[in-house]
Structure 1
């Protein structure tokens, strides 16, 4: 059950009638289609005819249907005991699945035992890591190898590098490749992204983060790398003790809320130097290397924007904050005040870097670098679960990406990214009954993805009126994280 989402009365056999079916794979919209769902699967997609006997009918005339949306970078299960509000906002925004970017042994065990919370309308957990690689469990190459082995043993889908060095990152990556488990995440400041790509890294999050990817597209690369200071890490204990993972997460929570609040003068200088010496040819060469090695990117532009404009009213006065748990907002507000105290030159460097991030995203897209959409929701300041994915679409469009590219990044590309191509991400017979009905055409504009007329999750249908009631219940008792 859910505190916010009432069970749907429309399930079993459902007909979405006379709708335009949008296929992200071939980029076409086919009007006049009947989509029939039975249970949790699509059973047929045919030209509109007589209503299916015994089916609940959802009128689709003049509307478009797309596969349910995927958020490929979230932390929803950082609070597994209280995911209801977050999941409700995801449902209301058409988000039917996600990749959990920080896990632990207890989370992996709960998943294997089938005891993870699953309130009404909950999205599907498509993949999860175990513990982040940090100085707590990966302070040495040997420790990094041991951590990868433990996560592989415990059933993690991938390993996420959080706070590592070149030595520990590459040691973990070699072991992950040997075991056949994917590794992605944050590149350390002293690691060349080209080396990471050639070594087989699965994904790079947040365009780095930091300056390392941008240094590779600079005419002053050697100068930037020589002068780039390593980010100082919080004092995480390195002794393996019971509950150490929870202690580590508590210690780094303040920084994770907005890492930009700890930007040093040296880092700010490195951003300015990289942005002022941008070399388009080098950027395209880097993109070609990522294509060659299938090095996925999850830009999370909404995350980097909330970081680099941490005290902007756009985020601190966002009316959608009314959905967030009060303790979450207190943490965000504390972080915003800390950001405002940064030196003006540092804040300017962070603001100016935004244009470079948009340019890099466009360069990657134009080159065909594989990319998925993600938000870093749940724990990151200023990011509203569910709604944030649509914010991400807006920033991707600002970077110059086409509507079809954006649609693919949240539907078919996540399936390919997770090695489940053909298993989800299309409106076709045999696919999961996870659908979003839109009032506008998403092939014309990314903004159409906001015009949600209804959502089907696992065969159950919620109309626009139902979804509006969901978000109002969340607002009445704010509980999203």
Structure 2
């Protein structure tokens, strides 16, 4: 739960070496030819064809072998409908067909002898799950996230752009990493060693009070976007998971957060916030989502609903503090648990869109299904808890129906679970198989 320390004006110069910076990030993330080969096994070669996703490279990535998942009950989180003895056809990294055996008959026949058949009889087939708050810094972290069923994630920042490097993998190495919306560096007063990540950050090293002036905050935001960040992460308060910090103190106020939001443009901002003042300032500043949000007030909940601000309560990260060996953290966990649980229920009932995020860091990964179960225990129906990790999360990421649903043309991401998610949100903790970008990355069937 953000236990780690991320903390390390004119527009950035265009001539600085982005390629070298991201090569270093890839190395820090453990991304290499050898590590990819070890994770993916034998992969097909790229095919010669112009590929706009990587300008200058003459090939395009090879598609995984077509796959047919049959016999399971296919669930649509948007409508709540379920197709028993359904068939899901994946080809070319997308859903080619989905529905009953009769509805998919032609698509199945077209792949005769070429497709991998996965028997999901007696189980439930869902779209790949989405975790909207993770801190993945290495290839091994990405694999652990996939194993838990999250095939898409939103990064909550990394120390040296590792998330930007990981975000490039799915297009070229199917199944190596979840689809990722990277945040780059944390917009925080103290950047620490993160200043070493980028020559453009050198001007910020001399700031005696840290990155606090609106112009400097805007500059840091623009550097992040230039390096490939698709979302921006900032804060209103300190961390709850560090006993020496008081999560109710104010780090950035409304004016400072407004500078970050303005500089982020269409990227959107996720804001770490705990105190009532911090949360309200962030919402008024226009952040896209509130992360944690323990002491949110009824007035701010109403404002979130009217503005369309999303709520990522990270329930497991907060409630698990109660089990900490540290007395301060244990006391916080016990105090915060009933408060955040009530906040989730109140926000949901007020019309705020609740999304699922685990705040997993590194290889210490909480399966996204655990967060979904806790959302159910906080008062969401099984269907609404499922939506928090599918269609609601996809909307937050701006991915529309490409993620969060299994419809023709959507991402070839799927999860197979052992029990009915429309009956119990704990079903998402019982993962039997995971398909990411058309590749079977977990198979316990």
Task: Note whether the superposition's TM-score is higher than 0.5.
Answer: yes
| Equivalence for 1:170 | 255
Say whether 1:205 aligns with 2:291: yes
Tell me the CA shift for residue 94 of structure 1. 1.6
Counterpart pick for 2:380 among 401, 407, 426? 401
The corresponding residue for 1:148 is 221
Q: Whole-Å Cα distance in 2 between the matches of residues 45 and 189 of structure 1?
A: 45
Residue 63 in structure 1 maps to residue 149 in structure 2: no
**Structure 2, gaps ≥5 residues long:** 1-35, 45-62, 191-209, 238-249
User: 1:186 and 2:246 equivalent?
Assistant: no
Instruction: Indicate the residue corresponding to 1:37 in structure 2.
Output: 90
Counterpart position of 2:232:
159
CA contact (8 A) 1:42 1:432 kept: yes
- Within the candidate set 100, 103, 125, 2:158 is matched to 103
Of residues 446, 449, 452, the one that matches 2:431 is 452
Partner of 1:88: 143
1:100-132 alpha-carbon deviations (Å, 9 max, x no partner): 1113565477469x5799877333342122321
1:411 is the counterpart of 2:390: yes
CA contact (8 A) 1:166 1:191 kept: no
Distance 1:138 1:44, change over 3 A: same
Per-residue deviation, 1:40: 1.2
Aligned-partner Cα distance in 1 for 2:405–2:171? 27
Query: Does the 8 A contact of 1:110 with 1:116 survive in 2?
Result: no
Separation in structure 1 between the aligned mates of residue 136 and residue 123 of structure 2, nearest angstrom:
31
In the aligned structure 1, how far is the partner of 2:382 from the partner of 2:66? 32
User: What SS does structure 2 have at the residue aligned with 1:428?
Assistant: coil
Alignment partner for residue 303 of structure 2, among 266, 289, 292? 289
Give the alignment's Cα RMSD to 1 decimal.
3.1
Question: 1:34-72, CA deviations, whole angstroms, 9 ceiling, x for partnerless residues?
Answer: 211113111011321465322322223332210011111
Q: Secondary structure at the match of 1:61?
A: coil
> Is the 1:100–1:125 contact (alpha carbons within 8 Å) kept by the matching residues of 2?
no
Unpaired segments ≥5 residues, structure 1: 217-282, 312-338, 467-481
Q: Which has the higher contact order (CA 8 A, sep 6+)?
A: 1
Q: Give TM-score scaled by structure 2 length.
A: 0.71
Contact 2:236–2:278 (8 Å) recurs in 1: no
Q: Secondary structure at the match of 1:32?
A: coil
Per-residue Cα deviation, 1:267-286 (whole angstroms, up to 9, x for no partner) = xxxxxxxxxxxxxxxx2x43
Q: How does 1:202-241 map to 2 (within 5 A)?
A: 202-208=288-294, 211=295, 213=296, 216=297
Alignment partner of 2:300: what SS? helix
- Number of residue equivalences: 353
Please give the TM-score of this superposition, normalised by the length of structure 1. Answer: 0.66
Q: Which has the higher helix share?
A: 1
Distance 1:179 1:139, change over 3 A: closer
* 1:189-240 Cα shifts (integer Å, max 9, x gaps): 58353343233111111125xx4x2xx3xxxxxxxxxxxxxxxxxxxxxxxx
